[in-house]
Structure formats: structure tokens, C-alpha cells
Amino acid sequence: MAFQILLNFLLAVTWMFFESSMELSTFIVGYLLGALVIFFMRRFFSSRFYVYRLFSIIKLMLIFLRELLLSNLAVLKVVLSPKLDIQPGIFAMETRLTSDWEVTLLANLITLTPGTLVVDVSSDNKILYVHAMDIEDAEEAIEDIRSSFEKAIMEVSR
């Protein structure tokens, strides 16, 4: 990914020299045309066309914002309800993610969405111990959300 961005940058600079214009607009046009050329030649690279990965990063951000909003509302409901009818608990969740930054990102996303909190990560980075505010009605649903986060992260790193 980094290599393709660097190449796109260099192609934009090449374009500025061809046009003999050192303006920002020339650079932007050159960058867009360079992206077009890299897209045309995308199968000569070992990794995917980097703009796809950019899109999956944006998708991950949108998923995060949606989950943040929804689970904050869920917490609000629990806080405002007159009876404290919740069942907290800790469950183990196995993850398929391997590299350090992926596990860190997943743990942070789980922690930042209220209702769940990552307590510990096993020493081989395979199991996350998650504290859930209300485990009774949520365990299945939370697993679903996890897989949506995990899937989105996998799409970014693939």
C-alpha cells in the first residue's frame, strides 16, 4: 500500500514536470491521472489497488461510528430505567486476527463501544477477555457485532 501511494506521488510529480507547472491544481490532476494509470496496471503489483483499502478503512470508520451511537443509546436506556435489571459478566472471545496492530485495533474498538470492555488479552494474542455489561440478552448479538468489526479489520489488512 505504502509503495503504491509513493508511486502515485512520484507520478504526480512527473506530471508536474511534463506540464512545467508547479501549481497545486496540476499536482492534483497528476495525482488523479496517476491513480488511473496505477489502476490500469494494478495486476502487476503484489497487493491490491490501494484505493480499495482506503475505502475499507472509511467503511470501518463508519461501522465504528454507527456502533458507538447505537451502544451509547443502549447504555442510556439501562441508566435511565428505574430497575437495575442487568447481568454483568466476562466472556472469552477468540479472534482470528494475527498481527499486533489488528488485535490492538479490535480491542480498542470493543472498549470504545460502551457496554463492553476488554479486560485482558491472552499471551498468545488469540483470546480476548471481554467484560459485558449485560451478558444475558447480548452475548449472541455481541458476537455478531464482533464479527462485523473483525471482518472489517480483516478487509483493511488483507
Partner 1 sequence: MKTNDIILQTVTKIVSFIILMFALHIFFAGHNNPGGGFVGGLLTSGAIVLLLLAYDIKTVANSLPIDFKITVAVGLLFAVGTGLGSFLFDVPFLTHAFGELTIPILGELHLNTAVLFDIGVYLAVVGSTMTIIQTIGEGE
Q: How far apart are CA 150 and CA 158, in angstroms?
A: 12
- 19 touches partner 1 (CB under 8 A): yes
| Amino acid sitting at position 1 | M
SS3 121: strand
Which triple of cell numbers denotes residue 78?
Answer: 439501562
- 43 touches partner 1 (CB under 8 A): yes
Q: Which is nearer to partner 1, 22 or 36 (CB)?
A: 36
The residue range among 32-40, 84-92, 124-132, 150-158 that interacts with partner 1, by the rule CB under 8 A, is 32-40
Beta pairing class for 116-121 and 127-132 = antiparallel
- 33 touches partner 1 (CB under 8 A): yes
- 40 touches partner 1 (CB under 8 A): yes
- 35 touches partner 1 (CB under 8 A): no
